[in-house]
Amino acid sequence: MTIDFKNLNTNKLQPKTDFEEKVLFFLKEWFSEASTVSVQTSGSTGIPKIFDIEKEKMQNSAKMTCDFLGLNEGDTALLCLPVEYISGKMMLVRSLERKLKLIVKTPDTHPLKDLEEKVDFCALTPLQVENSLSKIHLIKNLIIGGAAVSETLKKKLSGIGNEKNDNRRIFETYGMSETLSHIALKEIYPNEEEYFTTFEGIEISKDERDCLKIHAPMLNPDVLTTNDLVELKNEKQFKFLGRADNIINSGGAKIFPEELETVVKKHVDNEVVFLGIPDESFGQKLVLAIEGERNEDLKNEILNIQYRKAFYKPKEVFFLDEIPRTPNGKVDRRTLLQLLTKS
């Protein structure tokens, strides 16, 4: 199904799949007299919940993204994310806001497999991108969210042929349901940026833990305090260091596992996860889990990396056939820690 929001008539839309039915239901909800719509959180950082969001604030968020990317009336977009969650709903609101021509495809892990035409805008998860590398060149403005973009995936994206007069752009997003999708983007192609840049009207700061605080009155009346440890470059840019609840305290030194994983993934293609396991001497002992068959050469390569600090080198390395993940594809650190402490 393709929806032309420039000449929208919901009565003429004929859904043929369950997903198209859900899309049409959302549009009817949007054009109802109610001032809010219901959104479900993914549950990746807590218990899933449903809450109501003002339509006006969703429009504000949509305008921020469309303005940042320079989307214009009549541009084409592709929706292949679930509309139960804010990610899919906001693709529809952006299409409404900028009067886009929206191609609707049922979400799956290979969303571009039947795509032959070029589109101006699309949002995908890292797993969807991983499975769509041969078609990524068809998307002019791609945003990737739902989970962090790994160094391995970044390398694959940078290796895609750079056509003459190529004006494609790929961004990693930062946001959450409470901020109505993303509030900042970081370009990873053609230029690989180090810091996220926030949209206009977004104010950022840090709390006493060095975690990001977000003041976005056009999106949420509350100042949102996250569990994301960050480094602020200026009032508009920040670098994500890791989750506060993932910090490893080894011998009194605080270690950000996500930071070390980024370093290691620049050298190897395997999934790697740093964890702190209980230890009588250090409190927590820094260890590394590697997904794949045991490989001594790979292990030695990782141990010989020139880490910024000597205590960043893992004191023990584990190989696992498969690293446990949550339903949305993120590494399940809690389950992994349980596996390692039992081994």
Task: Identify the pLDDT of residue 101.
Answer: 97
Residue range(s) occupied by CATH 3.40.50.12780 in the chain? 2-243
Task: Identify the pLDDT of residue 51.
Answer: 78
Residue range(s) occupied by CATH 3.30.300.30 in the chain? 247-342
Task: Identify the pLDDT of residue 186.
Answer: 96
3-state secondary structure labels for all residues of the chain: CEEEHHHCCHHHCCCCCHHHHHHHHHHHHHCCCCCEEEEECCCCCCCCCEEEEEHHHHHHHHHHHHHHHCCCCCCEEEECCCCCEHHHHHHHHHHHHHCCEEEECCCCCCCCCCCCCCEEEEEECHHHHHCCCCCHHHEEEEEECCCCCCHHHHHHHHCCCCCCCCCCEEEEEEEEHHHCEEEEEEEEECCCCCCEEECCCCEEEECCCCEEEEECCCCCCCEEEEEEEEEECCCCEEEEEEEHHHCEEECCEEECHHHHHHHHCCCCCCCEEEEEEEECCCEEEEEEEEECCCCHHHHHHHHCCCCCCHHHCCCEEEEECCCCECCCCCECHHHHHHHHHHC
Task: Identify the pLDDT of residue 48.
Answer: 61
- Fold of domain 2-243: Rossmann fold (3.40.50)
| CATH code linked to domain 247-342 | 3.30.300.30
Task: Identify the pLDDT of residue 164.
Answer: 43
**Residue ranges of the chain with pLDDT lower than 70?**
41-48, 161-165, 327-329, 343
